[in-house]
Structure formats: C-alpha cells, structure tokens
Amino acid sequence: MNTILKYILYLIFLFGIYGAGELVYKEIDYGDICPKIINIPACYIIMACLVIPLINHLIKGSNRIYFIFTGLAWSIATYGSIMQFSKIIECPKTAEGIPMCYISFVIFSLLILLKTVELTRTNA
C-alpha cells in the first residue's frame, strides 16, 4: 500500500509542477500574472513548495521540511481560495475558467493528507 501512496504522491507533485511551471513561465514572459506575496509572485513560491518537498520525498529526507513547505503552500492556497471566493482577489485561471488557487488548495491538501497516511502506515 505504501508503494501505491508513494506513486500517487509523485503524480500529484508532477501535476502541480506542470501547472505551476506554466504560470511561472507566463510570469517570466509577460509579468503580472500571479498575485504577489511580499513582492514575490505567488507562483514562484508555490513552485518552490512543490519542488523542495518532492526532492525531500525522493531522497527520504526530513518530514519536517516536507510539511513546512507543503503547509506554507496550503496556507497560501487557502488564503487565495477564500479571497477568490469572496471576490476580493482574482487568482489566475485555467483555460476552463477554474481558479488555480482552488486547484492548489486541493493539491496541497492531498499532499499533506497522503504523506500523513503514508507515515502512519509506516510507523504502525
């Protein structure tokens, strides 16, 4: 079961990196695509919060690092989703019109949940 969880985590990471990568590319190419957090485009922060935990997961590094970065991104995605839902800010959208902050919220919720399940099964 842990092998399945591990591969599901990899797929979620790859999906997230693909989506964030597109935003990062557009931000670099066009500018002003992603909302800013302390003058840093949020898509850069989200990308780092995907790549660092993925590397950490691959090398079986510190779970603390994994949860710090996925937790940070989850917090950003939660805030963005609430603000988008409240129509206070405008998150970048997919071609289908889905706010990407909603997708980030789901991705990071799954990454945290599945890693917790994996660790619980490993320690049981």
Residue type, 86: S
Task: Specify the number of domains making up the chain.
Answer: 1
Question: Cβ-count burial of 15 within 10 angstroms (0-12 exposed, 13-18 middle, 19+ buried)?
Answer: middle
Closest by Cα among 9, 12, 106, 103 to 63: 9
Instruction: Give the C-alpha distances (Å, rounded to integers) separating 44 from 20, 34, 77.
Output: 8, 9, 13
- pLDDT score, position 122: 78
| pLDDT of 115 above 70 | yes
| pLDDT of 113 above 90 | yes
- pLDDT score, position 124: 61
CB neighbourhood size of 2 (10 A): 11
The two structure tokens encoding residue 28 = 């670099």
Structure confidence at residue 31 as a pLDDT band (50, 70, 90): confident
* Domain span including residue 38: 2-123
